[in-house]
Amino acid sequence: MTDWHNAAIAVAIATTSIAVASPLLLAALGEVVVEKSGVINVGIEGMMLIGAFAAYAASHDSGNPLVGALAAIGAGASMAGVFALLCLRYRADQVVVGTALNILALGITGVVTPVLSSFVDVPSFHAHSLFRVGGQSLSVDALAAFAIALTALVWIFLNRTRAGLRLRAAGEYPAAAADAGANVNALRAGAILFGGAAAGLAGACLSIAYNVGIAQGISSGRGFIALAVVIVGRWSPIGALLAALLFGFASALQAWYQAIDIHAPYQLLLALPYLLTLAALVLRAGKVSAPAFLGQPYAAE
């Protein structure tokens, strides 16, 4: 193969990597903020699923993918509001509530799938070419670009603002944060709503961005992969970006295995993204530190 051909394949793999990583990154960024506040939300999968369906329906009805994205944000935040109410006000078990929301979302979307799957010509976000190499262009859609920009914004918020400092204190030592005048549960509620909105927007990536369409279970476990991305990324926005791109790169490799002449069973290549994620989690075990009060409810005295 010529150098131009190799470069074109590399550009195509990069484009696919970014597209696959975008929903994972959006969901993981939201979860980084949530877990920094001391809450663990395993309901990301359900919020992504609801967001994907809301985006698809709203984009079809309005004729505008931006409206679809806003609908996805609202749908994800609404489900997160239920999570916040049950876990913060009534101090329900966070893992149980998150799991229940995943099941609820799967049931709701299963009912409406036959209706939405009949929609045609649903407006979507188109990828824009940044540059071309050997006939292939590095293309990024608006939601992928937003995900990258949001990485910087979340990092600045957590590390360079007073509100971010208070949020991190709520997860590390909530009693001290309360003594300093912070409303711990209000901070956690805001974090949860942000996480739900980000997960909903991640769902929009699945239905009206890189791939346009809807199907039952369209999230395909990406919410749980996003949880792994948070851990592999060391609860850091920059780390989440790198971990999401790693997963995206592994997914792109299995999609391009024929073009890059990899001699391996197709099933192994399909499993490669998940194997890499599992390996990264194992390597990180014992080497990362979650927020000290992660998953522990807080009751103001």
Kindly report, residue by residue over 245-288, the tens digit of the pLDDT: 988 988 887 767 655 666 667 667 677 777 877 787 777 656 66
Does residue 38 belong to any structural domain of this protein? yes
Kindly report, residue by residue over 128-148, the tens digit of the pLDDT: 877 776 667 788 999 999 999
Does residue 93 belong to any structural domain of this protein? yes
Does residue 290 belong to any structural domain of this protein? no
For the chain, the domain total comes to 1
In the beta sheet, which residues pair with residue 129? 139
Range of the domain at 18: 12-125+137-284
The span from the CA of 109 to the CA of 102, in Å, is: 11
> ∠ at Cα 126 (120, 128), nearest 5°?
165
Does residue 299 belong to any structural domain of this protein? no
Stretch 207-227: mean pLDDT: 92
In the beta sheet, which residues pair with residue 133? 136
Determine the distance from the C-alpha atom of residue 193 to the mean position of all C-alpha atoms in its chain, rounded to a whole number: 14
CATH code of residue 175:
1.10.3470.10
The pLDDT assigned to 274 comes to 78
Does residue 196 belong to any structural domain of this protein? yes
Ranges 155-164, 211-220, 259-268: which has the least confidence: 259-268
User: Tokens 């912070």 appear where?
Assistant: 182
Does residue 292 belong to any structural domain of this protein? no
Upper half-sphere CA count for residue 246 (Cβ side, 13 Å): 21
- Contact of 104 with 46, CB cutoff 8 Å: yes
Does residue 256 belong to any structural domain of this protein? yes
Stretch 192-199: mean pLDDT: 98
Report, in angstroms and rounded to the nearest whole number, the Rg of the chain calculated over CA atoms.
20
The pLDDT assigned to 144 comes to 95
3-state secondary structure of 136: strand
3-state secondary structure of 132: strand
Does residue 23 belong to any structural domain of this protein? yes
The span from the CA of 122 to the CA of 30, in Å, is: 27
Question: How many angstroms separate the Cα of 205 from the Cα of each of 69, 95, 197, 233?
Answer: 9, 25, 13, 21
